[in-house]
Amino acid sequence: MDFKNKIALITGGAGGIGKAYAEELLKLGAKVSICDLDEENGELLAQQFNMMYGHTRALFCLCDVTDYPQFEAAFQTTVSVFGGLDIVVNNAGIFNDRFWELEVDVNLNGVIRGTLLALRFMGRDRGGRGGTVVITGSTLGLRPCACVPIYTATKHAIIGFTRSFGDPFHMNLSGVRIIALCPGSTCTETNAEDMKKGILSPAYEPVWRMAGNGRMQKYYLLRPMQVYKLIQNSVIKFKKIYYCLKLKGEQ
């Protein structure tokens, strides 16, 4: 796929994997709408990207994925400013089983809202030109994890959602392809101690440490850019689910 002049909307785009998505898409010639709750860093990032990659190539939209009217407004602003929409990256997510209702609302309901909005704005059956929805899942959507059962449940749900909406019936109806990327542990601004606060209770700390030690013995921490690289391949192939892990000893 040629990304030149394609228009992408990215939730959770002000940092971490979302920021990597945005920057790499800009490098490939796309225009990006950075949608995030972090207004200060989001506005600054859009300004920096416009200086680096060309005026009016990046836009910031304040966006809470749990707030449907605000989420809808981000889509409307993106289409109004850039003149269309080709790629939606449902990337926003939180890691906090102690606030599980919010976690479910962001990680699962936010993805559902974003995908339905993407179908509305991009679907050929709705007057759009088709496109691609990329959902940031997790390898925890493919296996159990005792220390964060609710977070894991949201990621399992995303896999079922993607596989169902990725069926050829939906693609033929809307012209919108829906895929999920499932990265392993990824280096972002959130460190391990901050993440530990997201487990359900202190009683889960021993199994949290065991899980972490097991991952570190077998896998490298991914960098956000390594996760992004999957997009270039995934949008031109026909799989629904893409895994991203790096075994120790691999280059």
The domain total for the chain is 1
pLDDT digits (tens, 9 = 90+) for 230-239: 555 555 444 5
Which pLDDT does position 136 carry in this prediction?
Answer: 92
Residues in the chain: 251
- Residue 219 is predicted with a pLDDT of 39
- The band of 226, judged by pLDDT with boundaries at 50, 70 and 90, is low
Q: pTM of the full predicted structure?
A: 0.86
Which residue of the set 53, 151, 228, 242 is catalytic?
Answer: 151
CA separation for the pair 130, 140 (Å, rounded): 30
For 175, the domain range is 7-244
Q: Give CB contacts under 8 A, 24+ apart, made by 118-122.
A: 118/9, 118/75, 118/85, 118/88, 118/90, 118/176, 119/174, 119/176, 120/75, 121/75, 121/79, 121/85, 122/85, 122/86, 122/88, 122/174, 122/175, 122/176
Nearest in space to 10 (alpha carbons), one of 162, 179, 18: 18
Q: Sign of the CA dihedral 14, 17, 23, 29?
A: negative
2 located within any domain: no
Q: Is 15 among the domain residues?
A: yes
Task: Report yes or no: 195 and 129 within 8 Å, Cβ to Cβ.
Answer: no
Q: Determine the average pLDDT of the residues in 61-79.
A: 99
What local confidence, expressed as pLDDT, does residue 233 receive? 56
pLDDT of the residue at 241: 58
Mean pLDDT for all residues in the chain? 85
Residue bearing the bigger pLDDT, 59 or 1: 59
Q: Is 44 a domain residue?
A: yes
In a domain, 89, yes or no: yes
Instruction: Give the pLDDT score at 125.
Output: 98
Per the annotation, the verdict on 220 as an active-site residue is no
CA 218 from chain centre, in angstroms, equals: 25
Task: Indicate whether 202 belongs to any domain.
Answer: yes
Question: Domain for residue 250, yes or no?
Answer: no
Q: Which residue has the tokens 């990725």?
A: 166
Q: CA 176 to CA 225: how far, in whole Å?
A: 25
| Exposure on the CB side of residue 80, measured as CA atoms within 13 A | 7
In a domain, 217, yes or no: yes
Residue type, 71: F
Token look-up 């990337």 returns 91
CATH code assigned at 212: 3.40.50.720
Judged against a pLDDT cut of 70, whether residue 191 lies above it is answered with no
Contact between 62 and 42 under an 8 Å Cβ cutoff? The reply is: yes
